[in-house]
Structure 1
Amino acid sequence: MSQVDQAWGAGPSARYEDLAKKFRPLFEEIRQGAIAREFNRILPDAQIALLKRAGFGALRLPEGEGGLGATLAEFFNLLIELSAADSNITQALRGHFGFVENVVNTAPSAFRRRWAERISNGEIAGNAWTEIGNASQGAFATHIARKGDGLVLNGEKYYTTGSLFADWIDVGATGLEGEGITVLVRRDDPGVRVVDDWDGFGQKLTASGTTTFSDARVDPLDVVVDDTKFGYSPAFYQTVHLATLAGIGRAIAIETAAAVSARTRQFSHAAGPRSSQDPQVLQVVGRIRSNAYATTAIVLQVAAAQERAHVANLAGNDEAVERANAVAELETSQALGVVTNLVLEASTILFDTLGASAAKSSTALDRHWRNARTISSHNPRIYKDRIVGDFAVNGTPPPGQWRIGQAPALTAESPDKVDESSAAA
């Protein structure tokens, strides 16, 4: 059944339904096991393997390079559908999708050819950027060094989402000259250790724990200077979160409607003999679905802004690229608070449509609030609201790439030199 038939709105392109048909049977298979995996803490290794074999990791890669050539709107709409099935999987693949986006924004080169081939063959990359403890905002402690005739990587990362399922790990590090770099290392290298020690109350199955690098081997061809990455990357990574939230909203709407339809017990003081005939309950169900519908529309609008940034980047006009990147970041920031509020509200009021039995752990309905709250905590919306307000009032452009860590010490001469953009990670 198409999106139109389900009243979720038309897909983002004329060919979208044909593209989605390839993956919807997999999404349904993933959905059917989602609650059991959540309840028994079973990592989605098999489900991610299914998506890899189907070419889902190569969605954004051009067809001429072995991918499916999806536009950003098509891509994010598919992420919404996947997230409605199991938001853990979208989150686990977020680092891979960001890496692929960098590849498709890279000029023709040996690096691009090598990675396009790997991606088209189904290989995926995990994520290893954040450092905790006394980590600095300004530089990574994780670094490469010379050892013998080669290069090795040493350091420790946390929030290494998806790396446990990956073939490669995309690592933020410090180079030989102190420069910021990106390093790709094999997940199965003897010097790489990935531990599923993520202890968050949400997104429990994303393996967002610790990865340690101990003299992990580095191919010099897989070292990239950090400032060459695509300029709308902060907006892109955030929009993966927004699409995940929109998918959670859709799952809430679908599961709540099904639970209300099946419910036979009813309160004596209710407004109808069954929940499915109770106008007050139906009103809440309708509100939940409307929230979910709105989040999809917002995500697709944000995707359009990023598509413009992508096109500008390929055209190579520096001024146009900078402007398009700034607009993409602003639109993403404007969307974040609204999408978050809509989904968090839906994840709470769903319990108003059902009795106390809905609070049973076995129903796993609480996973929606836990997952949405966890995702929306990665990049605090208060900072996004401030950035949007500063642009609206003062015309201040949004900050560029941001990191989290210990802030530089303030000085009497320059108390405003802290990079506020680093406050969100």
Structure 2
Amino acid sequence: MTATTTDVRLPGTGLPAGLAAVRAHLAPVLATVAERARERERTRELPAEEVRLLAAAGFGAVRLPVADGGAGLTVRELAELLVDLGRADANQPQLWRNHVAFVEDRLWHRDAPGAERWLARVAAGDVVGGAWSQKAPAPGEEAVATRVDDTADPATVTGTKYYSTGSIYADWITVTGKDTADRDVLVVVDAHDPRVALHDDWDGIGQRLTGSGTTLLDAVPVAPDGLYADGGRSPHQEIVFQLVLLTSLAGVAAAARDDATAAVRRRVRNYPQGLAAAPREDAIVQGVVGRVAAHAAAARAVVLAAADAIDAGLERLAADPAAADVRTDEAGRVPVTPEPLRDAAVATWEAQLVAADAALRAGTELFDALGSSAVERGTQFDRHWRNARTLTSHNPLPYKAALVGDWYLNGTDPFPWARRHAAP
């Protein structure tokens, strides 16, 4: 852990400003991540050291303004870095997902009490995880088992969370729950507190190293300035959460292209019915690699277009901050997307449909350019499809397609939870 709840006057990460400089600064770390990713996938060894290398290099602070010790990057520039990171290791963007959202929230609410303290921790290299999901008691009902005792001093949180992505690597964990008045709250706790138990029991077919396991909290003290009665969320939080998953998908497609290219170049024997002695000179094989490369290009393009739309929406909100305050429908019942961010939401859901298809196709079609040796476990080529399938399963595509279609047909708010059903 790089900071305590009372001392954030720590040396910064030495992060340079601007995307080109940050890329050069992070290049050695990304090379290390890529070099180790295949073996870690094979052995299921968590990349804790790589996360710390990224944190120490300032990866978690790139969105902070330069004056705050960051690199001053836009959302699009952050997305470009995340695609680079996903190309090196598809687990990495997702395990940073809660951190990215927390930084966006604190930047949006930087005038709130304690915001500067959290931004200073981020600038110093601290990592933030999240523990939000838990099992619902009945169909359609919201799980509320995690309780925050805000009458205690300090407040405490008790409960069990699942899919705690990134928390096993983190210094701080954001936790959702209900306070003593049964209101939704978000709190931040010290990940290293002995009353926090983190279990690496995520058993998915892909994204195996994201640390998306179970978190147990037993009357854990809430950090100072770490209780948000309204959730402390930024208006673009949901969109950013999804964008990070999309950067992982774009990274998967790029890594599949890289593996296909390198494997074909190494091959010295072609199929008997091949069009050339060397596989790399065979037009059929070239066409397969070309299609995989096109899938990677398509995924990257739509993800960066969505990030551009988010930047544009944030510029509009900066010019009209009051537009972000309209967060429920006319009856005050369901959340809505602030009007300046609706194009960004639609662009992100559209990107999800394209990037998911592209990554899944890239992870499958690369095998058409290779021989039976490509399916040996040692190649780990199957990780691309497994990772893409797991990422895509977070948000079933038919529902996102329906949101997009409803928007174009009927102008319906694209916020994904606006039509959430209630328990029968």
**TM-score, normalised via structure 2 length:** 0.89
Q: Does 1:53 align with 2:67?
A: no
Q: Does 1:408 align with 2:411?
A: no
Which range moves more in the overlay, 261-270 or 310-319? 310-319
Cα distance between partner residues in 1 of 2:280 and 2:322 = 57
- Is the CA contact 2:150–2:179 (under 8 Å) kept in the aligned structure 1? no
Match of 1:29 among 24, 32, 45: 32
- Is the CA contact 1:59–1:68 (under 8 Å) kept in the aligned structure 2? yes
Match of 1:128 among 128, 131, 134: 131
Aligned-pair Cα RMSD in Å: 1.9
Q: Would the alpha carbon gap of residues 194 and 29 (structure 1) be closer, same or farther in structure 2, given more than 3 Å must change?
A: same
Shift of 1:270: 1.1
Match of 2:344 among 321, 325, 328: 328
Other structure's SS at 1:33 match: helix
Shift of 1:371: 0.4
Other structure's SS at 2:39 match: helix
Shift of 1:381: 1.0
**Structure 1 alignment gaps of length 5 or more:** 1-13, 411-425
Q: Would the alpha carbon gap of residues 391 and 261 (structure 1) be closer, same or farther in structure 2, given more than 3 Å must change?
A: same
Cα distance between partner residues in 2 of 1:369 and 1:26 = 25
Cα distance between partner residues in 2 of 1:168 and 1:286 = 43
Other structure's SS at 1:91 match: helix
**Structure 2 alignment gaps of length 5 or more:** 1-16, 326-337
Q: 1:332-383 CA deviation, whole Å, 9 max, x = no partner?
A: 1111111111110111010000001000000000000000100011011111
Other structure's SS at 1:185 match: strand
Aligned to 2:97: 94
- Is the CA contact 1:137–1:403 (under 8 Å) kept in the aligned structure 2? no
Q: Would the alpha carbon gap of residues 233 and 227 (structure 1) be closer, same or farther in structure 2, given more than 3 Å must change?
A: same
- Is the CA contact 1:105–1:314 (under 8 Å) kept in the aligned structure 2? no
Q: Does 1:342 align with 2:345?
A: no
Cα distance between partner residues in 2 of 1:376 and 1:226 = 29
Aligned to 2:182: 178
Shift of 1:149: 3.5
Match of 1:236 among 231, 237, 240: 240
- Is the CA contact 2:137–2:143 (under 8 Å) kept in the aligned structure 1? no
Q: Does 1:103 align with 2:106?
A: yes
Aligned to 1:292: 296
Other structure's SS at 1:218 match: strand
**TM-score, normalised via structure 1 length:** 0.89
Which range moves more in the overlay, 103-112 or 83-92? 103-112
Aligned to 1:370: 386
- Is the CA contact 1:302–1:331 (under 8 Å) kept in the aligned structure 2? yes
Q: Does 1:357 align with 2:373?
A: yes
Deviation >6 Å, runs of 4+: none
Cα distance between partner residues in 1 of 2:357 and 2:416 = 25
Cα distance between partner residues in 1 of 2:339 and 2:110 = 20
- Is the CA contact 2:264–2:279 (under 8 Å) kept in the aligned structure 1? yes
Shift of 1:255: 1.1
- Is the CA contact 1:234–1:401 (under 8 Å) kept in the aligned structure 2? no
Q: Would the alpha carbon gap of residues 103 and 148 (structure 1) be closer, same or farther in structure 2, given more than 3 Å must change?
A: closer
Cα distance between partner residues in 1 of 2:208 and 2:182 = 35
Cα distance between partner residues in 2 of 1:360 and 1:402 = 45
Q: Would the alpha carbon gap of residues 20 and 399 (structure 1) be closer, same or farther in structure 2, given more than 3 Å must change?
A: same
Q: Give the letter for the 1:165 counterpart.
A: Y
Residue correspondences, number: 395
Match of 1:267 among 261, 264, 271: 271
Cα distance between partner residues in 1 of 2:72 and 2:411 = 36
Identity %: 37
Q: Give the letter for the 1:226 counterpart.
A: D
Cα distance between partner residues in 2 of 1:169 and 1:320 = 26
Cα distance between partner residues in 2 of 1:344 and 1:239 = 17
Q: Would the alpha carbon gap of residues 326 and 225 (structure 1) be closer, same or farther in structure 2, given more than 3 Å must change?
A: farther
Q: Give the letter for the 1:67 counterpart.
A: G
Q: Does 1:210 align with 2:214?
A: yes
Q: Does 1:282 align with 2:286?
A: yes
Which range moves more in the overlay, 54-63 or 218-227? 218-227
Q: Does 1:200 align with 2:214?
A: no
